[in-house]
Amino acid sequence: MANKQSQKTQVPIRHYFIDEGGDSTLFSRKGKVLIGTEGCSRFFMLGLLDVPDPATLQRTFDDLRTQLMSDPYFNGVPSMQAKARKTALTFHAKNDLPEVRREVFGLLRDMEELRFFAIVADKWRVLEYVRQRNESNSDYRYHPNELYDYLIPRLFKERLHQSSSYHIIFSKRGQSDRTTALRQALQIARDRFAKQQNVISTASLQLSVAIPKERASLQAVDYFVWALQRLYERGEDRYVKYLWPAFRLVQDIDDRRKAGYGVYYTQKNPLTAADLEWR
């Protein structure tokens, strides 16, 4: 790094795991607005989990799964059977039993070294933008990947300058290979920070895509994102409160009541259900 302050805080390598919450869909195939209807979320979010020791987290999750699978309490539970390809293979907050979730949340809360960052977009605001684009350009067509790729640089803007090397693992979405698009989005983030801070980063970026079954850290970030999604979509903040010690930043980019860039929730400015009641 170019400045001395960055060198002091530098660590050899950072492992970032990325997952999404909600969906980036706005329209049906016939052009009907679907936001907030059944099967279509009101919000779309991306979460980044900084995991200093992925190998230890992997062992911890594997041990917990082995313990739960051998517990007679879960005998006969469909989601715990190997053929169901759910909890028996991978922890997934949406599919896991409440009793399983409680165990996973407990492990995550005990891992004090984890750091979670997130960015949240209100899809009604996104719809406004799309309609404005359509008015000025009749050839423009919104694609769900567009929102994902727009949020990546904002999520990573200040996350790529405190280490000499980064391994960034995205949770796989869809069947197409989007590695090039993701790499471009990360480069945008790095360039924006370099221009703003007048620094030059020579950190290496290793990017890969995996499924949660292959990486326990992707299962972990899924739990953080699920907790945040429950707060935004249902007003339930108990999961976020429980994991809040690991939260470092939640950027709500569409809450512009006080500033055009949105609201930043941090340890000094915690996020609760009361903060979202105006919506």
Task: Dump pLDDT digits (tens) for 6-15.
Answer: 444 556 899 9
- The mean pLDDT of 185-206, rounded to a whole number, is 89
Both tokens of 182, joined, read 């993701």
What backbone torsions phi and psi does residue 15 show, to the nearest 5 degrees?
Answer: -110, 115
Is the domain defined by 4-276 classed in CATH 3.30.420.10? yes
Both tokens of 202, joined, read 């020579």
Residue 167 near residue 15 (C-beta atoms within 8 A): yes
Q: Is the pLDDT of residue 1 over 70?
A: no
- Residue ranges per structural domain of the chain: 4-276
Which pTM value belongs to this model?
0.93
Residue 47 near residue 21 (C-beta atoms within 8 A): yes
Distances (CA, A) of 120 to 91, 126, 160, 176, 248: 23, 11, 20, 24, 14
Cα separation of 35 and 38, whole Å? 9
Instruction: Output the pLDDT for position 7.
Output: 43
Residue 276 — very low, low, confident or very high, per pLDDT cuts 50/70/90? very high
- The mean pLDDT of 96-107, rounded to a whole number, is 97
Give tens-digit pLDDT for 174-189: 888 899 999 999 999 9
Instruction: Output the pLDDT for position 5.
Output: 41
